[in-house]
Amino acid sequence: MRVAELPIGRFPPLAVLPRRSSVMDVLLAMGRNKVRHVPLVDEDGKLSGMVSARGVVDFLGGKRYDEIVVSRFGGDVYRALGDVSVDIISYDPPFVFNDSDVREVIELMVERGLGALAVVDKAHRVVGIVSERHVISLLADVDTHVKVKEIMTPEVVTASPMDTLQHCMRVMSERRIRRLPLASSGELKGIVTVKDVLAYLSKEESLSKLKSDRDAVYSTPLVYLASKPVITVEAEADVGEAVNHMKKHGIGALVVTRGGKITGVLTERDVLTRLPRVKGVEIFLDEAEKRIIGSRVSF
């Protein structure tokens, strides 16, 4: 089964930018299109780089913020966004060809822990993008016989609803996470994702405020950005059930609970990279149905 035959992915991608773009261009493309990855192309439309939402958050509130925005622009975020080239946060793009076998896509994502792959034609022109969410959506609606608790991430980093946007970006950058559940008195109050952060910062109102009062934007309480309600799954539930929840709600992670208390987080990447490594699990392709089947076949 070839990549171009899959009933998933974006062909063409929602956002593709010239290599000469600024960080501001990337922020607007990601925030307004609600995407986490943007391919960069040269004058001929050939793939020349990739930018992730994580790189933008690093620039706006993480290590790169101190190195660039503070050191070179005195903390003037708006000017830095417009003046700095996207080259500073881009990386060499992983890619597959549109006639590559889907097994190659899965193996590349699993082995290298990639969130997205650009899809190119023989001339290396960008024709699409395939993300971990796209691949996970191919998982059949079956029992995997693997419990959520077996592959979830048990260490959950949380924040208070009244913590600030600046705090959120710093934590996301330092802990290398894309989601931050909000909790108060042991109860879930919402969840902030990297997409929520970029969508908020790319709003005209937010950008206008950044020009004159950076603190007014960066001090925004997270409760105003959060998605609610938070979709949860029980630790004892089958991974197949969890994947169905993700697909139904169009989300990339579930907060895992046991008896109403947070015990972990299950992400698309957990499913993609950890499910195949569970003892007794086999992953295979159903060519006729164009789907991936993953299930524990021996115990």
Residues 167 and 106 in one domain: no
What's the pTM? 0.92
Tell me what pLDDT residue 133 has: 86
Residues 110 and 154 in one domain: no
Closest by Cα among 265, 62, 58, 57 to 181: 265
**Where in the sequence is the domain holding 229, given as residue range(s)?**
148-277
Secondary structure of residue 85 in the 3-state scheme: strand
CATH code of residue 171 = 3.10.580.10
Domain count, the chain: 2
**What CA–CA distance (Å, rounded) separates 4 from 120?**
10
Number of other CB atoms surrounding residue 222 within 10 Å: 24
222, 180 Cβ separation under 8 angstroms: yes
Residue 11 belongs to some domain of the structure: no
pLDDT tens digits in sequence order for the chain, 299 residues long: 677 676 667 889 999 999 999 999 999 999 999 999 999 999 999 999 999 999 999 999 998 999 999 999 999 999 999 999 999 999 998 899 989 887 788 888 878 878 899 999 999 999 999 998 888 877 767 788 999 999 999 999 999 999 999 999 999 999 999 999 999 987 899 999 999 999 999 999 999 999 999 999 999 999 999 988 899 999 999 999 999 999 899 899 999 999 888 999 999 999 988 988 898 887 766 655 566 667 787 65
**What CA–CA distance (Å, rounded) separates 70 from 210?**
14
Residues 57 and 113 in one domain: yes
